[in-house]
Structure 1
């Protein structure tokens, strides 16, 4: 097999995914076992073809959602990821936008794989079959044998329950992505289709067929499911969690003294106050406790061993840096953050009015879905150093799931 520097993977992620449920959130950004569907897809593609360029095509309204997905990816995947381009009103327009972006980058690839964002189980073996098929056949798509008998019904007639034909299933295939092409061939096809008003072609193979070209089938993968319905989400999450059977819990505790200042940082949120927390960094006691809990769950020391207070580079540092690194370590070990439960102990400021903002910010930093972040607050009934308002304490529990 040749090196993969001449291969690009175009990921179509501009759809709305209304059949999957989830309200207004497009299905590719819905949480699935701790990360968005799109994050799982991008991570799997990067692992399957480590030298390929990966170009996401997203909806113009989804830049913020995509930024959150980026935060969920490993450093290795981020190195392969190109800046996203905006798609169009149809899948066909979105693919053409991605192809044109690759063509305009100055070093167009020899091979392009075109993959749906909602297929997060694309295996390395399937990816390599796709690359080889494009090299050998110019245009090829993965397909799987049908196990059920297929019936054709009289959809346009007076009785749409009437069976009119039984195609021989031996000659039929259910097709998947990634679909694989020589880049110049599929780019020319999309350009010709657009110029001639052929805008209703259902997949990229249909573009080549419309041109009169030949498209070949290579072996697909039954595990390469497409997430379309709410039931698909349940199935996919069950599969992902079954791969992470090592469940661990870590605890974290931190204290910072109150001194002069006009604000405190809690969970990455700046809260106005008549005093400030004192520390080598920004003294975000809540973020520090959660960071320690994550490192504890991984048995990888504590925040001080990773970010020593004796190191001047951390003077006044934003504590989201520490927390983001801890969350990234979970992902680098192939795991997920299942839940974070944290408590702030102080008389003032009141945390309740800021709870939702803190949870949202912690979700952004850690790459977790909001429903996996719990933040509570309590006083110490005027007892102890927190009761005397000499400082603020925070406690945290983090549950992570890892592969064995």
Structure 2
């Protein structure tokens, strides 16, 4: 299992949504239950269709669930979403059906995800893809924060494990497609249908399974208490409490200078010139940082990262935007949307647009659907029209809790 891929690997995903969800305590399968106003399956499908590197998506559903599935995906018209597959009696059989549905796509990498994990992020998918390309098979792992012990036969507490060495395994799990298909085929041929996750099956078949950084937010909703109506209402009230919707704007300019690339939105874009600035001169991230800080009412990029400070010379501007978004979260808020317009004659932004969107989303910790990237020229007018540099205009929308001192 050591085949290497060239640039531009084909990535596909399988979402497991075939279970009956009996532990969730209702007749309706849990993957179709609503969280935040939409079915969990809808959230999972959106996560993958929002990601520019996912070229095909197959959802595996149970027999008799087609009507519920159609309702859950009614808002999507993306051709990357294929017809659903019908799962089997076990998770392993369902994954096998999803993999078979991807045969015509012949992907290099496949991601296998549980619909019952609706809170995974775009950044987690990025890490999964890179881990599979690097290691062949990889699963996200999060540190264990609870104390874990063995339950003795009489119901008492048994051995306690050292949680520092423990990890909670999550999805999406990522593999080289051909290798995972081969592992499933071997397990089926040998009558093994008892694996509860693909990492265990892959390891049983002889593959090395690497661990990469998971997310505490990426919980699996399984039992009735997690779906408690009062808990969900309180979660809804917490969101509505962030009713102070604010917008901010940012603008930045950098002149061209010697170089062979420019940094735009955290992406290295080849160009005949570079951009001059104290940091990496990423005009896009600078404008977005000021937009977020403006919405927060917390100064500007120069106040937090002064160009007079040698610590920021040549710095990666991603840390500026990440810090601004962190300040929003520490204030109890959330970044709702980021919008960017790059102004200049060259380089062309179009070929790099989706990569820029994905990188901004990763830095800000939001879904890619909450990032807009556009470009325009000045019709050969002004410094940008004379190809002397680039400018960027950005806006940010954030949600904050109402505070008494705000006078609202």
- Report the TM-score when normalising by structure 2: 0.55
Contact conserved, 1:4 with 1:51, CA < 8 A, in 2?
Answer: no
- Mapped to 1, the partners of 2:8 and 2:73 lie a distance apart of 23
- Mapped to 2, the partners of 1:227 and 1:6 lie a distance apart of 30
- Shift of the 30–88 alpha-carbon distance from structure 1 to 2, 3 Å rule, reads same
Contact conserved, 1:29 with 1:38, CA < 8 A, in 2?
Answer: yes
Contact conserved, 1:5 with 1:52, CA < 8 A, in 2?
Answer: no
- Mapped to 2, the partners of 1:193 and 1:174 lie a distance apart of 24
Post-superposition CA distance 1:168-222 (Å, at most 9, x none): 2222100000001000111000000010011111110111121132111100001
- Mapped to 1, the partners of 2:48 and 2:369 lie a distance apart of 17
- Mapped to 1, the partners of 2:9 and 2:109 lie a distance apart of 10
Partner of 2:202: 208
SS at match of 1:120: coil
Q: 1:137 aligns with which of 135, 144, 148?
A: 135
Partner of 2:321: none
Aligned residues: 244
- Mapped to 2, the partners of 1:216 and 1:236 lie a distance apart of 35
Contact conserved, 1:45 with 1:122, CA < 8 A, in 2?
Answer: no
Q: CA deviation at 1:74?
A: 4.1
SS at match of 1:39: helix
- Shift of the 25–11 alpha-carbon distance from structure 1 to 2, 3 Å rule, reads same
- Mapped to 2, the partners of 1:236 and 1:207 lie a distance apart of 35
Contact conserved, 1:5 with 1:51, CA < 8 A, in 2?
Answer: no
- Structure 1: which 4+ aligned runs deviate by more than 4 Å? 1-5, 234-248
The reply on whether 1:87 has 2:87 as its aligned counterpart is yes
Question: After the TM superposition, which of the residue ranges 90-99 and 168-177 deviates more from structure 2?
Answer: 168-177
Q: 1:120 aligns with which of 118, 122, 141?
A: 118
Partner of 1:41: 44
| Pairing of 1:373-392 with structure 2 (within 5 A) | none
- Shift of the 3–228 alpha-carbon distance from structure 1 to 2, 3 Å rule, reads farther
Q: CA deviation at 1:238?
A: 5.7
Q: CA deviation at 1:48?
A: 3.2
Structure 1 gaps of 5+ residues are: 249-331, 335-401
The reply on whether 1:168 has 2:151 as its aligned counterpart is no
Q: CA deviation at 1:124?
A: 0.6
- Mapped to 2, the partners of 1:18 and 1:26 lie a distance apart of 7
SS at match of 2:79: helix
SS at match of 1:143: strand
Q: 1:229 aligns with which of 217, 223, 227?
A: 223
| Pairing of 1:160-199 with structure 2 (within 5 A) | 160-163=155-158, 165-199=159-193
Structure with larger Rg: 1
Contact conserved, 2:31 with 2:41, CA < 8 A, in 1?
Answer: yes
Structure 2 gaps of 5+ residues are: 246-367, 371-396, 400-408
Partner of 2:349: none
- Mapped to 1, the partners of 2:164 and 2:369 lie a distance apart of 43
Question: After the TM superposition, which of the residue ranges 239-248 and 197-206 deviates more from structure 2?
Answer: 239-248
Post-superposition CA distance 1:74-132 (Å, at most 9, x none): 44xx33211111110100000001111112x2x31000000001111110110000000
| Pairing of 1:59-70 with structure 2 (within 5 A) | 59-70=62-73
Contact conserved, 1:48 with 1:123, CA < 8 A, in 2?
Answer: no
SS at match of 1:82: coil
- Report the TM-score when normalising by structure 1: 0.55
Q: CA deviation at 1:242?
A: 5.1
